[in-house]
Structure 1
Amino acid sequence: MSDAGRRNGRARRWNVHELPPQDGRTFLVTGGASGIGYFIAEQLAGTGATVILAGRDSARAELARQAIRTRVPGTRLRTFVLDLADLESVRKAADGLSASLGRLDGLILNAGLTAQPERRETVDGNELVFGTNHLGHFVLAASLYPLLARTTGSRIVTMGSVAARLADLDFDDLQAVRPPYKGFRTYGRSKLAQMVLASELDRRLRDTGSPVASVLAHPGGALDGLTPSRPPLHVRTATGFLGALPKAPVAQSKEHAAWPAVRAALDPLAEGGQLWGPRFLRGRGRPVREKPFAKMTDPQVGERLWSATERVAGMGWPLGDGG
């Protein structure tokens, strides 16, 4: 980007309420039927884009589609059944979707499990949180990459977390086999793995001249109690709102928590390798560019995690295909 372009980018305020039109473009949002993912999908739908709501529960995805259509009449929405905890099913689902789409402009890797009280495993024998948040998204993105590479200006947006800053990758125990099992540590590790891999993906895409960009975002602090109602998916109660108010200075609604990922997906000035998050204390506010933290961008760690991920996932990344 030119110096003039950077100056213009700094001068121009991104308006979260007036997003650039995206008619004719297609975006897929994992976890698009609930929480932050729902609001990412709702905001993208308002741009005129076709939005695909991906999730395990087809009935809930249909409710989300109806809720979005109530607020954005005439929007183009699809649902897509996807179980990130079953890697073979992810591959098959992605292959089927690729065959039915002519283009994919944005893949927003948003879905994820939070901290679990005890260690559980996926059908593939991977730790559930790491397997879902990290491995499932890797397989999905790798499977859809040829389609993304054939779509000019496409992006993969990885949703990280501030919890990743407190985590460390233990390559001798990535899947939390050694006791004691600590749910928050495992969750933070899974989000750090996603962010490290997204940074490593950016390096590899650049090295191969790929037209696809790998961009990162994080939502800050997101609370149900501050989130506006979207019946029947979510109804905010007075008790929930009052209970969340003390945290309002450092957290926000899930509607606002969607803003960084939406900007990462749509802003013409966003580039691969960048990290977008809330303005105030990394917890709330309009989306701005952040400096990536060191653990996220270490190339040696990225290369090591990439190799480990391909080995456990049982597939490589098809760099060069479709470009």
Structure 2
Amino acid sequence: MPRTPIQIDVPDLAGRRAVVTGASDGIGLRIAARLAAAGAEVVLPVRNAAKGQSAIETIRRESPAAQVSLRDLDLSSLDSVSQLAATLVAEGDPVHVLIDNAGVMTPPSRQVTVDGFESQFGTNHLGHFALVAGLLPVLRAGRAQVTSQISVAANSHAMNWADPNWEHGWNGMRAYSQSKIAMGLFALELQRRSEALGWGITSNLAHPGVAPTSLLAARPELGRADDTMGVRVIRLLSARGILVGTPESAALPAVYAATSPDAMPSHFYGPSGAGHLGGAPAEQRLYSRLQSEADAGRVWALSEEMTGVAFGAV
């Protein structure tokens, strides 16, 4: 029996510009579609232009008046991140909503980005760190809400401070957890620094729970030729309405965190169902790995050192 779709109220976003990473499919596409349906002008920075165009067609089928456009972005390349930021800053339009959603998960072996970072840390965290830094002028101009999409994986394992690039003893799941812990710590530190330095940016966190997406599916570009057993089980459970969510429901915590007048800075939103794996969005208890301000400052400094990117004051 089909499950009843979860409904949330999304305010009128007409006149507001939103940027959503990882919106060419899965949860990111559903986030972008919901923002566009509410009237936002939505920018989809994508690595694969064909998938991006397909996403735009999907959004416009659902919302014929949608304002949605593509930009080029490969989060695993700091040069690509810098180029996107320069493009959006040069366009001069304030960014009111930024949802850092894109990510990679557990490739079959350790891989590195073009800049030499462990692929999950480099893409999921460092790429988004550099993007927020590069977009700072237009984020400030829009008094933006920045929502960082983390994961239930941030509630396990730890930062590998001695070897953040996992050059020794690489473990895919531990490295993935680290990337999401770092992303969460950064988001909380962004709010603290925005308040201290008067940037006018609001930063909070969301997680989608568990839903069938391409994260664990066949990804030849990552060396994964076939779907994992994990994604096959998730698809089965989702289709039967058991425990986990759908891409549509999994998108809602980030949409809520980024748009609801009730969503708060530095707060954390995710599904409210059993194990927080599915269900309607609600506030969550902040994971223990994200509660140390000292760790957040350390992640910020480490990220600046590794990327060579610093946040300006303008």
TM-score, normalised on structure 1?
Answer: 0.86
2:266 corresponds, among 270, 273, 294, to: 273
Deviation readout 1:180-230 (Å, 9 max, x if unpaired): x211111111111101111111111122232110110000011259xxxxx
Structure 1 counterpart of 2:296: 302
Deviating 4+ runs (over 4 angstroms): 239-242
Please identify, of 287-296 and 33-42, the stretch whose mean Cα deviation from structure 2 is larger: 287-296
Query: Is residue 2:14 matched to residue 1:23?
Result: yes
Please identify, of 204-213 and 75-84, the stretch whose mean Cα deviation from structure 2 is larger: 204-213
Query: Is residue 2:204 matched to residue 1:221?
Result: no
Kindly tell me: are residues 307 and 247 of structure 1, through their superposed partners in 2, closer, same or farther at Cα, counting changes over 3 Å? Answer: farther
Query: Is residue 2:28 matched to residue 1:34?
Result: no
Structure 1, unmatched stretches of 5+, are 1-14, 226-238
Structure 2 counterpart of 1:252: 245
Query: Is residue 2:180 matched to residue 1:191?
Result: yes
2:94 corresponds, among 80, 103, 119, to: 103
In angstroms, what is the RMSD of aligned CA positions? 1.9
1:289 corresponds, among 265, 283, 294, to: 283
Q: Structure 2: which amino acid aligns with 1:156?
A: V
- For 1:149 and 1:36, the matched residues in 2 are separated by 26
- Contact 1:199/1:297 (8 A) holds in 2: no
Cα shift at 1:167:
2.1
- Contact 2:157/2:177 (8 A) holds in 1: yes
Deviation readout 1:124-149 (Å, 9 max, x if unpaired): 11111110001100001110011110
Cα shift at 1:117:
1.0
Structure 2, unmatched stretches of 5+, are 1-5, 215-231
- For 2:297 and 2:309, the matched residues in 1 are separated by 15
Q: Structure 2: which amino acid aligns with 1:85?
A: S
Cα shift at 1:25:
0.4
TM-score, normalised on structure 2?
Answer: 0.88
Identity of aligned residues (%): 34
Structure 1 counterpart of 2:148: 158
Q: Structure 2: which amino acid aligns with 1:182?
A: N
Q: Structure 2: which amino acid aligns with 1:195?
A: G
- For 1:255 and 1:265, the matched residues in 2 are separated by 16
Structure 2 counterpart of 1:177: 167
Cα shift at 1:241:
8.9
Structure 2 counterpart of 1:127: 118
2:306 corresponds, among 304, 307, 312, to: 312
Kindly tell me: are residues 282 and 80 of structure 1, through their superposed partners in 2, closer, same or farther at Cα, counting changes over 3 Å? Answer: same
- For 2:297 and 2:179, the matched residues in 1 are separated by 16
Structure 2 counterpart of 1:66: 57
Look up the SS of the partner of 1:258 in the other structure: helix
Structure 2 counterpart of 1:229: none
